[in-house]
Amino acid sequence: MSLDNPKTLNDEAIIRLAERVETAQRYATPIHKLTQDYPDMTLSEAYRVQTALRRSYEARGQRVIGWKAGLTSKPKMAQMGVSTPGVGFLTDAMERPANRKITVSDLIHPRVEAEIAFVTKSELSGKVTAEQVMAATDYVQPALEVIDSRFSGFKFDLESVIADNSSSARYVPGGRMIRPDALDLRTVGVVLEHNGEIAQIGAGAEVLGHPAEAIAMLVGVLDDMGEVLPAGSFVMAGAITAAVAVKPGDTITARFYEMGSITVTFTE
């Protein structure tokens, strides 16, 4: 994916759009998709908005600890009506501990996804292969992602959702940390339970054939943005199943084959 399209939005417009998204995120107030006002917005411009958002959070003291790949499975793409994956950044302020309660009154319409996360031990940069990702990975572990599109009705297009940091809201690392080659990550099964009922079932191969492929894709997008993936990054490879909407009082448990499980309960 090349991001070097011609500029059509100037830097001032990019900053204003990032402020619009940030306000929606901070106050949990839905907005209409950005392409309603900027129908010609390109993917390159959407990533410039995301970068401006990242810089603003950093200026407020948040630390970028890693990244997420999004829209990397067929169930997710079908659910959201898009056909291209994307990436978003993760900060320390978005992390929540496993097996605890998560407040949702500061979110608009949260949904939960079960993912495999990679923690890197060496820098990845440029265009890399899944094999290079595996070699640069210290360990993998289960994670839940709580996404929250800032767009009304979870209705968006690829440009708008990328500008909205790929709907990133909260993430919950948990389960067992294992060496990346200790299991065939394609065949790691996940059962996602919602209030004790099985809501979604999937396997790692849903994520671009192998979750490491999603990390390779992500590193390529970072390269297009002039960024690298530093050693020690926490990177989520994308949802294995479709996302499950949650409300206060709900409990989600994700059970990963040989990798343990994560439970969270949602409260006001």
169 binds ligand 0L1 (CB under 6 A): no
Q: Which of 206, 175, 203 is nearest to 191 (CA)?
A: 203
Q: Binders of ligand 0L1: how many residues, by CB under 6 A?
A: 15
Angle, CA 92 vertex, CA 33 and CA 131 arms, to 5°:
85
Q: Which residue of 25, 167, 200, 253 would you call a contact of ligand 0L1, by CB under 6 A?
A: 167
Binding mask 85-124 for ligand 0L1 (x = CB under 6 A): ----------------------------x-----------
Taking CB positions, which residue lies at the least distance from ligand 0L1?
Answer: 70
Angle between helices 11-27 and 43-59 (to 10 degrees): 60
Q: Which residue of 18, 161, 188, 190 would you call a contact of ligand 0L1, by CB under 6 A?
A: 161
CA gyration radius, the chain: 17
CB of 181 to ligand 0L1, least distance (A): 25
210 binds ligand 0L1 (CB under 6 A): no
> 3-state class of 92 per DSSP?
helix
203 HSE (CA, 13 A, CB side): 10
Residues of this chain, 103-122, that bind Mg ion according to CB under 5 A: 113
Cβ atoms of 182 and 137 closer than 8 Å: no
166 binds ligand 0L1 (CB under 6 A): yes
CA distances from 115 to 82, 219, 249 (A): 19, 18, 22
As a whole number of angstroms, the longest Cα–Cα distance in the chain is: 50
48 binds ligand 0L1 (CB under 6 A): no
Q: Binders of Mg ion: how many residues, by CB under 5 A?
A: 4
Locate 148 and state its tokens.
Answer: 């929250």
145 binds ligand 0L1 (CB under 6 A): yes
Q: Which residue of 145, 157, 159, 213 would you call a contact of Mg ion, by CB under 5 A?
A: 145
Other CB atoms within 10 A of residue 16 CB? 13
The one segment of 9-17, 70-78, 188-196, 205-213 that binds ligand 0L1 by CB under 6 A: 70-78
- Looking at the Cβ atoms of 144 and 147, the one nearer to ligand 0L1 is 147
Angle, CA 27 vertex, CA 24 and CA 28 arms, to 5°:
65
Taking CB positions, which residue lies at the least distance from Mg ion?
Answer: 145
By CB under 6 A, name the binding residues for ligand 0L1: 68, 70-71, 76, 80, 113, 145, 147, 149, 161, 166-167, 238-239, 243
